[in-house]
Structure 1
């Protein structure tokens, strides 16, 4: 079996986001080669440049990829084949949130489709195009990012919750299909993670309520048993673990990293 740490070829979507960027750095720190994919080539190039300041010899491939587009992922596959030939790890981090809370009776078709096209169809498209680059019986694996909101439904956020529930189910389906090839498929379900997106949401809610950002943060973080939103590194570490030999007997699993907000 190929070594599962150091020198692997890794493909990461959402690489310019709060969790994605830290995930890229986590793999690079282990000596892995990383293809960084996100909507903006400028953004992923900036991430690559910043990481090279700490890891000047890092082998990085910045790619402009729209995971909701079959054509974009086909182009990404071609670029990865030219760069590396095969992959060892696929980490599907990229996702979007529901733009606004709305009842099922008022939610627009456009918003439902936008969320599902990225969060669920994107995982499907990326898997269909990139899994063929994972060699059988080599220690290769795919890790997708779900959400604790995919564990249960939340009123007014049906498109987001169902898209992430779909990721959890999809991971189980794909794990069953690839098990006989020795390719593992797992997911991470984050809780509240202290990214720029989380802070922006707190700031927006604070403004609506007419309270300070710190007051809003205290209210929301008090709902978390561990009393703090998790650092992005907590998710990157979970992704790395699932892609390593340390998780060699895990497939079809969704690991909850949520500070205790939900127990499954």
Structure 2
């Protein structure tokens, strides 16, 4: 029997993160769950243990945008397992909608620090713990907004375009070590973050949440925001042996909102 993989998931307390962690738990992997809030980690761990009582978990509250915080993550992972086989880098934030001329610099930095700098720091400090030879892989989360610019979301679009490019750079640099790196580009996914954004915009427009949801979901060719499990499907695939010849790719999981 082969040794269980060590899988690290950032943003593990969120809707997508919990789904992704559950996939790896079902495969018998050892999990490192990273999130900003301890409460989210505790909830995720409780849910996993209720389904898989023997799952091995390491919970690390951390801010992925801060170098010292990420260094502590790497040190704890090395002490706990000595390596990490899969990096599933899901931590990310949305942007408060605003024109480029009116975006506060702190908001620009907040979005880019988490979404791009966080991926950079996690790769910088965790890749040295990844075994070479073809069994290790990285999956990042970008967005269909990373493929083109959209008004009022310049910081978010720029950050997600940066994730795509950074992941491709990692794929090129790490190929000689047999470490693959790919990104998933979601469209609208039915997470609490998505619903909070709809609720905020509905309030701003003076309409109901359901009206706002119908407006946004009607723009999606498949007619709904995708379930978080659709992202877990893509991440699980890209970090599996079935994707052994895929690296530097960006996989669209967007219900048809963008073809390219």
TM-score w.r.t. structure 1 length? 0.96
Q: Give the Cα separation in 1 of the matches to 2:158 and 2:72.
A: 28
Other structure's SS at 1:66 match:
coil
Match of 1:133 in 2: 129
CA distance in 2, matches of 1:105, 1:148: 23
Task: Give the corresponding residue for 2:113.
Answer: 117
Q: Offset at 1:253? A: 0.4
Query: Equivalent residue for 2:208?
Result: 212
**CA offsets 1:88-144 (integer angstroms, 9 cap, x no match):** 10000000111x222111111111111111000110000000011111104100110
The number of residues matched between the two structures is 260
SS at match of 1:154: coil
Unaligned runs of 5+ in 1: none
Inter-partner Cα distance in structure 2 for 1:242 and 1:21: 17
Once the two structures are TM-superposed, the CA of residue 42 in structure 1 deviates from its matched residue by: 2.6
Aligned equivalent of 1:245:
241
Q: Which runs of 5+ in 2 are unaligned?
A: none
Runs of 4+ in structure 1 deviating by more than 6 angstroms, as ranges, are none
Contact 2:133 2:179 in 1 (8 A): yes
**SS of corresponding position for 1:120:** helix
Q: 2:36 aligns with which of 39, 57, 64?
A: 39
Q: Give the Cα separation in 2 of the matches to 1:58 and 1:151.
A: 37
**Which of 57, 60, 85 in structure 1 is aligned with 2:57?**
60
Is the aligned partner of 1:223 residue 2:219?
yes
Question: 2:35·2:63 contact (CA, 8 Å) conserved in 1?
Answer: yes
CA contact (8 A) 2:14 2:40 kept: no
How far apart in 2 are the matches of 1:58 and 1:80?
Answer: 16
Q: Which digits, 9 at most, give the CA deviation of each residue in 1:162-200, with x for residues without a partner? A: 000000000111100000110000000000000011111
Distance 1:134 1:125 in 2: 15
2:101 aligned residue = 105
State the alpha-carbon separation in 1 of the partners of residues 115 and 10 from structure 2: 11
Partner of 2:254: 258
Using the alignment, how far apart are the partners of 1:43 and 1:29 within structure 2? Answer: 20
**RMSD of aligned C-alpha atoms?**
1.3
Q: State the Cα distance separating 1:77 from its structure 2 match.
A: 0.5
User: More displaced, 43-52 or 243-252?
Assistant: 43-52
Shift of residue 255, structure 1, vs aligned partner: 0.3
Query: Does residue 202 of structure 2 align to residue 198 of structure 1?
Result: no
SS at match of 2:164: helix
State the alpha-carbon separation in 2 of the partners of residues 204 and 118 from structure 1: 21
* Alignment map for 1:5-20 (pairs within 5 Å): 7-20=4-17
Distance 1:192 1:42 in 2: 25
CA distance in 2, matches of 1:113, 1:255: 26
